[in-house]
Amino acid sequence: MSFSMDVKKELTRISDDDMTLMKFELAGILRTGLTVRKYNGRKRIVFITENASLSRRIFSNVKKITSNSPGIVAVKTTRFRAHTIYGIDFTNLVLKHNTDALNEMGIFLSGDLAFSYKPIDISEREQIRAYVRGCFLATGSISDPDKSYHLEISFPDSLLADEFITLLKVFEINARSILRKGNILVYLKEGQEIVDFLNVIGAHGALMRLENIRIIKDMRNQVNRIVNCETANLEKTVNASYRHVNNINYIKERIGLESLPKNLYEIALLRLENPDVSLSELGKMLNPPLSKSGVNHRLRKLDKIAEDLKKK
C-alpha cells in the first residue's frame, strides 16, 4: 500500500460525532471530487474512488446528515492492475429530494447537471481542519517520503483552489497552485509544510513516520557533508605534501639541502622522512616544537626557493 493510501486510511478512521464537522468534511469531499459522468446515455452525479474505507465513510455520513442513502456500486477492473472502483451515485438523492444540502456546501447544479460553486461559509479552525481533510480525502495524494516530498490536491475550479490556499494560511501553510489538464493542482513541496498539513488534517501516525524519515535523511546528509569535507581536506593535504616533497627533492638535486638555512634544512628533512603526516604533527617533531602556521610558512619558503631555481 502506498504512503498516500496509508494516510487516507488513517483519516477514515477518525471518529467524529460532531454533525457540523461531519458536514464540513463531506463538503470538502464533494466540492473537490463530485463529478458528472454518463452511464448508459444518462448523466449521473457521482463520486469515484478506489478507497473502500472512504466510500463507506461517505455513504455513512451522507445517511447521517440527510437521512437518505446514495447509491453505491463496486466495479472490478483489470486496467493497468487488478483493483476495485467504487462509485457513489448521488443522482436520485439530489433529484428526488432537493439540492438544499449541496447548496449549503456551496455546490449548485444547473438544469443539465453542470456544477458551479460559491465560497463556503467557514471560519472556525476545527471546521477548516475538517474541510481540508475532506478535500485531501477526495483528490489528494502524497509521494513516498523516502523518495521525495510532494503533496497535491486537484480542484475542478479556480475558486475552490484559491479558497483552499487561503484556508491553509490560517495554519501558516503557504501552498502554491498550477494548472494541469484542465484542473488546478494545489501543492506543497517542503517537508515541514507537509508535516504541518498532516497535523492539520489529523494524520498523526503518518506525521510521525514522515518526521522519522526526515530525521534519518538529515542525519545522512550531515554525515555525507562531513565525509565530503574531510575528503576534500585530505585531498588538499595530500596534494600539498606531494608538492612539498617534489620541491625539496628538486632543491636537493640542484644545490643540496645543506645549502639551506638551518630552520629550512630541518623542516625539509622531516618532510622527506614523513610525507604523510599533517603540518601539526610535523611541527611537533621539531625541537622546539613549531605551530602549524609556522611549519606552513617554512614550507612555503622552500616552495619559493624551488620556483626561483626553476627560473634559472
Does the pTM surpass 0.75? The reply is no
Could you tell me the domains of the chain?
7-202 (3.10.28.10), 218-311 (no CATH)
DSSP letter assigned to residue 144: -
Q: How confident is the model at residue 203 (pLDDT cuts 50, 70, 90)?
A: very high
Task: Say if residue 98's pLDDT is above 70.
Answer: no
pLDDT in tens, 277-294: 888 888 899 888 989 899
Q: How confident is the model at residue 77 (pLDDT cuts 50, 70, 90)?
A: low
pLDDT at 10: 93
Higher-confidence residue of 301 and 115: namely 301
pLDDT at 224: 82
Q: How confident is the model at residue 80 (pLDDT cuts 50, 70, 90)?
A: low
Dihedral angle over CA of 247, 311, 298, 243, nearest 10:
-30
Lowest-confidence segment of 92-96, 251-255, 272-276 by average pLDDT: 92-96
Q: How confident is the model at residue 79 (pLDDT cuts 50, 70, 90)?
A: low
- CA-to-CA distance for 34 and 182, rounded, in angstroms? 15
- Over the chain, what is the mean pLDDT? 86
pLDDT in tens, 137-172: 999 999 988 888 999 999 999 999 999 999 999 999
| Cβ within 8 Å of residue 131, ≥6 positions away | 24, 25, 27, 28, 120, 122, 167
